[in-house]
């Protein structure tokens, strides 16, 4: 039930995020009367561009996502901060170099503009290459499995892409072919004419169609929405603690590259190999890499994430001091065989062969429930936890109710005045008597009646005044004379008064 609720909430949040992006686009969509200003603000000659600001801001939620995943997998979050310091500059540098290499016809004539990163122009595949290189270096230094580091970085990269693509919107770049669809985006004529070098190899009629248009496909919006959906999928998969290494990053590489391959059909990119652009060639190569990683990952045994780095040493992947440590990490590497406890049920094969089975080491018996819980699926653990809590709650409520009633009774009696207690005693005695009588057997009641009558008579006589006794004697005598003669039993005839 909790899993379904969590899935529903995640789908709802994802849809709300997509709606927000669409609404935001229509609210700030440019037009000839309201063009976009790529500069956020300027102080003298120093200008802060939307492109650079969004790229910088995209690192914040990305790092937060990676930290959440690290804690979920019982990995020290400090590794994320250390990796970010190395990955951020490498990703930006290679993203710029890849972009300039793909547009070398222009940058070979303007090499100084390679440094003008604030004007836009970053290649996603350069970001991936720089990030992978950073992960490879950090894995070698920290002894953390390389694929596990890539798993941590993939969702963060996707979320960063979803935010960073809006920098292309403010820079009026990387848009698609002309279109008349309702969500078409107006592009400044200067930005359109900047495509001269990019479309010089196109057929004349296609080149004229592109350079003479004003409205184009907002491909940045398409990719931003696609990245939000992919991010939600990866985060849902990453909830599992027994996930194989490489699953997250392989899903990212495959799904994103499939989308990117299709998006290239509406982006203004010249064909490079046959009818395919360099972006599509890169997407196909990335899909192949993702498939190979996934095939390799399927050969690995599912296990708790923290256990996949046992060879890294106690301090590399352990949680920070003071935090909860996985119970499985406390198990010794070698269990001494002399540590034994009473053997359990005799093994059937041992009975048949006449051999006595070895006693189970106490450490194994103690560790078995821990291992079972850690390797059990999340749904089973949640269901078992709910059942245990409900059972414990019912028992606790019953015990607490009895204790509360007893305590309340004692408190009431201790705090009551003597007059209240004196008035309550007959009521309590009467209720107790009724309860005893109702629960007693007929034989007990029959035997008790003479005793009760006799005691009541004695009590009445002792408590009566002399005047009452004197008035009652004639009545009793008269009633005795009028009573029929009763022959006493045989055992009473032996008494002296019965023989006189």
Whose CA is closest to 248, among 66, 16, 64, 61?
66
Question: Among 154-163, 212-221, 231-240, 264-273, whose mean pLDDT is lowest?
Answer: 264-273
- For the chain, give the mean pLDDT: 77
- Asked whether 248 and 238 are in contact (CB, 8 A), the reply is yes
Q: How many CA atoms lie within 13 A of 93 on its CB side?
A: 9
Spatial CB neighbours of 254, under 8 Å, sequence gap ≥ 6 = 287, 290, 291, 294
Q: In Å, how far from its chain's centre is CA 376?
A: 15
Question: pLDDT by residue (tens digit) across 15-27?
Answer: 999 999 999 999 9
* Alpha carbons 4 and 10: distance in angstroms, whole number: 10
Measured CA to CA, the distance from residue 318 to residue 308 in angstroms comes to 12
Angstrom distance (rounded) from CA 453 to CA 458: 9
Measured CA to CA, the distance from residue 500 to residue 493 in angstroms comes to 10
Point out which residues pair with 340 in neighbouring strands: 361
Instruction: Round to whole Å and give the CA distance between 201 and 210.
Output: 13
Beta strands at 185-186 and 215-216: parallel, antiparallel or unpaired: antiparallel
Q: In whole angstroms, what is the distance from residue 378 CA to residue 6 CA?
A: 12
Q: What pLDDT is recorded for position 415? A: 65
Torsion of CA 19, 23, 29, 33, to 10 degrees: 170
Alpha-carbon distance of 77 to 197, in angstroms, equals: 46
The fraction of the chain above a pLDDT of 90, given in percent, is 37
Model pLDDT for residues 143-154, shown as the tens digit of each residue: 889 999 999 999
pLDDT at position 389, please?
54
For residue 139, give the nearest of 308, 375, 364, 345 by alpha carbon. Answer: 308
HSE-CB for 456 with a 13 A CA cutoff: 6
Helix, strand, or coil (residue 121) = coil
Q: pLDDT at position 317, please?
A: 46
C-alpha to C-alpha distances, 483 to 458, 475, 487, nearest whole angstrom: 22, 12, 12
Give residue 337's pLDDT: 37
Structure confidence by residue, pLDDT tens digits, 166-207 = 999 998 988 999 999 999 999 999 999 988 888 888 899 999
Query: So what's the pLDDT on residue 493?
Result: 46
Category of 468 on φ-ψ map: left (φ > 0), alpha (ψ -120 to 50) or beta: alpha
Answer yes or no: are the C-beta atoms of 70 and 152 closer than 8 Å: yes
What pLDDT does 299 receive? Answer: 86
pLDDT surpassing 50 at residue 310: no
Kindly report which listed range (120-134, 422-436, 467-481) carries the lowest average pLDDT score.
Answer: 422-436
Give the model's pLDDT for residue 340. 40
Query: Which position has the token pair 């499939």?
Result: 258
Confidence of residue 474 (pLDDT cuts 50, 70, 90): confident
Q: What is the pLDDT of residue 339?
A: 39
CA distance linking residue 205 with residue 213, whole number of Å: 12
pLDDT in tens, 362-382: 544 455 455 444 555 555 556
Q: Rounded distance, CA 104 to CA 193, Å? A: 18
What's the whole-number mean pLDDT along residues 220-232? Answer: 97
- Burial class, 171, CB count within 10 angstroms (exposed 0-12 / middle 13-18 / buried 19+): buried
Residue 231, Cβ density class (10 Å: 0-12 exposed, 13-18 middle, ≥19 buried): buried
Does residue 40 surpass a pLDDT of 50? yes
- Residue 406 three-state SS: helix
């Amino acid at each position: 039930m909790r899993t379904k609720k969590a899935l529903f909430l995640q789908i709802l949040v994802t849809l709300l995020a997509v709606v927000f992006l669409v609404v935001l686009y229509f609210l700030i969509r440019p037009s000839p009367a309201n063009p976009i200003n790529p500069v956020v603000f300027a102080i003298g000659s120093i200008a802060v561009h939307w492109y650079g600001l969004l790229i910088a801001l995209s690192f914040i939620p990305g790092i937060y996502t990676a930290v959440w995943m690290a804690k979920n997998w019982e990995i020290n979050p400090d590794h994320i901060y250390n990796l970010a310091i190395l990955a951020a500059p490498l990703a930006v540098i290679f993203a710029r170099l890849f972009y300039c290499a793909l547009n070398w016809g222009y940058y070979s004539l303007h090499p100084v503009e390679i440094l003008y990163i604030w004007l836009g122009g970053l290649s996603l595949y350069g970001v991936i290459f720089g990030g992978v290189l950073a992960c490879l270096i950090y894995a070698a230094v920290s002894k953390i499995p390389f694929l596990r580091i890539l798993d941590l970085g993939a969702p963060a990269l996707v979320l960063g892409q979803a935010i960073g693509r809006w920098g292309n919107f403010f820079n009026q770049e990387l848009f698609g072919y002309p279109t008349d669809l309702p969500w078409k985006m107006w592009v400044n004529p200067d930005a359109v004419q900047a495509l001269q070098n990019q479309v010089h190899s196109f057929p004349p009629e296609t080149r004229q169609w592109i350079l003479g248009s004003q409205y184009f496909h907002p491909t940045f919006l398409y990719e931003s929405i696609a990245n939000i959906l992919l991010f939600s999928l990866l985060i849902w998969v990453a909830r599992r603690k027994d996930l194989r290494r490489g699953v997250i990053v392989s899903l990212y590489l495959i799904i994103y590259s499939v989308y990117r391959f299709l998006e290239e059909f509406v982006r203004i990119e010249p064909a490079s190999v046959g009818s395919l652009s360099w972006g599509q060639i890169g997407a196909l190569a990335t899909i192949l890499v993702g498939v190979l990683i996934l095939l390799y990952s399927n050969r690995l045994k599912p296990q708790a994430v923290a256990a996949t780095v046992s060879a890294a040493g106690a301090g590399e992947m352990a949680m920070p001091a003071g935090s909860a440590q996985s119970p499985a990490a406390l198990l010794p590497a070698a269990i001494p065989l002399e540590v034994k406890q009473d053997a359990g049920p005799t093994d059937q094969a041992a009975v048949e062969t006449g051999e006595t089975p070895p006693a189970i080491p106490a450490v194994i018996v103690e560790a078995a429930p821990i291992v079972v819980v850690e390797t059990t699926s999340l749904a089973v653990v949640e269901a078992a936890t709910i059942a245990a809590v409900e059972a414990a709650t019912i028992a606790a409520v019953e015990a607490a109710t009895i204790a509360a009633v007893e305590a309340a009774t004692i408190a009431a009696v201790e705090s009551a005045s003597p007059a209240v207690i004196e008035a309550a005693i007959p009521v309590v005695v009467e209720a107790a008597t009724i309860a005893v009588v109702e629960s007693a057997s007929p034989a007990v009641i029959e035997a008790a009646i003479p005793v009760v009558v006799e005691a009541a008579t004695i009590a009445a006589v002792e408590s009566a005044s002399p005047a009452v006794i004197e008035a009652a004697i004639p009545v009793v005598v008269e009633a005795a004379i009028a009573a029929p003669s009763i022959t006493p039993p045989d055992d009473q005839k032996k008494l002296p008064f019965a023989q006189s």
